[in-house]
Amino acid sequence: MSKLETKIVLNKPNEKPIGAVIWLHGLGADYNDFVPVVNELQLPIGLKFVFPNAPVIPVTINNGYKMRAWYDILDFSDLHREVDSDGIIGSVRQINELIEELIAEGFTSEQIIIAGFSQGGVISYYSALTSNYKLGGLMVLSSYLPDISLLDAAQIQHKSSLPILVCHGANDPVVNIKMAHIATKHLQQFNLKYEWHEYPMEHSICYEEIVAIQQWLLQIFAK
């Protein structure tokens, strides 16, 4: 796999960032999708935001039409039934390379947050929960865990202190909120603690969610 294209945004360009956030977009979007959120967060601390582009691949549910996707979607009626697990593993490998690059720059693993929306949230789940590093946090927006067999319970035992934020829209027609609850049940089974926020919205983000993300990030970097 080729190296991921990335867009780098510093919310305080004149300050040395005290942490980094790798933020993954959803199906068919690109790395510009969440760039506006950086300013909306109004963070008083300097962070480096890394927005990667998913590769362009054929997507089965869209009749093989090529678009940016972290993995193929094979069956939209049940996102758990047929899963492109190889595609997920390949994308996680590429996110691991971004983590390594940040560590090589001088960030500690605890200063690195993995975040993602929808398909990007899936990759964020697997990247953080399978990482060999002790990461600073995991943020999952409007997403799910399609293939629990990709997670190793023994490995996840070492993630008990990982801060996890999970947000979802109660009226989401793309990723039903029931799927988010299935994912959090798995987190509970792994004895992982998480912060849950539910909003009266569809497959999107809202102002209240941005406020929750801001507060969560500040809690992590205030330590």
3-state DSSP of the chain: CCCCCEEEEECCCCCCCCEEEEEECCCCCCCCCCHHHHHHHCCCCCEEEEEECCCEEEEHHHCCEEEECCCCECCCCCCCCCECHHHHHHHHHHHHHHHHHHHHHCCCHHHEEEEEECHHHHHHHHHHHHCCCCCCEEEEECCCCCCHHHCCHHHHHHHCCCCEEEEEECCCCCCCHHHHHHHHHHHHHCCCCCEEEEECCCCCCCHHHHHHHHHHHHHHHCC
What is the set of active-site residues? 118, 172, 203
